[in-house]
Amino acid sequence: MLNISVVDDEQTHRDILTRYIEEWKSRKHLNVKLEAFDSGEAFYFMWCQDQHCDVLFLDIMMDGEGGVSLARRLRAKGASIPIIFTTGIADYMQEGYEVEAMHYLLKPLDKRKVWECLEKCLQRKTSDTKTILLSTEDGLIKIETDNLFYAEAMERYCQLAYMDERLKVKIGLRELAEKLEPTKDFIFCHRSYLVNLRKISKITKTDLIMDNGAVVPISRRLYKKVNEQFIQAMAG
């Protein structure tokens, strides 16, 4: 999934840019979630809720908060989103350097240049994806760790809640934890369960509610540690 946001207070420019992105998505056969916003304030409110944005096309000159101001706020919050400024005036290069803008696109927008920016962002997203190889009864399978919700111990095997599937892999839970350790996102919540901190929706005294609706038990002994690590993960 590639999450793309377009922020521009002019409907015509939003429509043109979203059309170019939709065409690119269709050509690439990608799973893309595209959202358009008519103000920086509207985008910032959304981003503060879930921070799910992989590419941001941001108009510089807008009524209300301008693009450069919004970019500064995002960077101050630690956001590393690739920002592509769109503007009709080529006088904002210095401000762009300050907020580490990935690119500038001058209006009227050129479709090919929009696509070039999207290709760069896709390459960056792909290179950032963490994967591990695991054995199943049918052979090796590559797992993207960001899409792994949790793992449950089953004697010498593990059952994975991966995307919308249940996968049985030939590895013990402790060994799997070692493979996942470099990501810093996984933690034992129970002797039989390893969970992805970034996929937790809610923590109760006895269970973890995952983003996919699954309920995973949490032991009394590990409750404090999981709660603390969850808070740290979300703050980061």
Q: Which residues pair with 110 in a beta bridge?
A: none
- The pTM score is 0.57
Instruction: Give the angle 144-140-187 at the CA atoms, nearest 5°.
Output: 40
pLDDT at 128: 65
Burial annotation 16-53 (CB, 10 A radius, 16+ → b, else e): bbbebbeebbeeeeeebeeebbbbbebbbeebeeeeeb
The C-alpha atoms of residue 106 and residue 150 are separated, in whole angstroms, by 45
Main-chain phi, psi angles of 8, to 5 degrees: -160, 135
CA-nearest of 104, 72, 102 to 91 is 104
Q: Do residues 73 and 41 lie in contact, with contact meaning Cβ atoms separated by under 8 Å?
A: no
- Report helix angle 111-128 to 11-28, nearest 10: 60
Main-chain phi, psi angles of 206, to 5 degrees: -120, -15
Q: Could you read off the pLDDT tens digit of each residue along the chain, which spans 236 residues?
A: 789 999 999 999 999 999 999 999 999 988 899 999 999 999 999 998 877 899 999 999 999 999 999 999 998 887 888 999 998 876 665 566 667 788 889 999 999 999 999 999 988 877 666 888 999 998 889 888 988 999 999 988 999 999 888 999 999 999 999 999 887 889 999 999 999 998 998 999 999 999 889 999 999 999 999 999 988 876 65
Q: Which secondary structure element, helix H or strand E, spans residue 23, and what is its range?
A: helix 11-28
The C-alpha atoms of residue 120 and residue 142 are separated, in whole angstroms, by 23
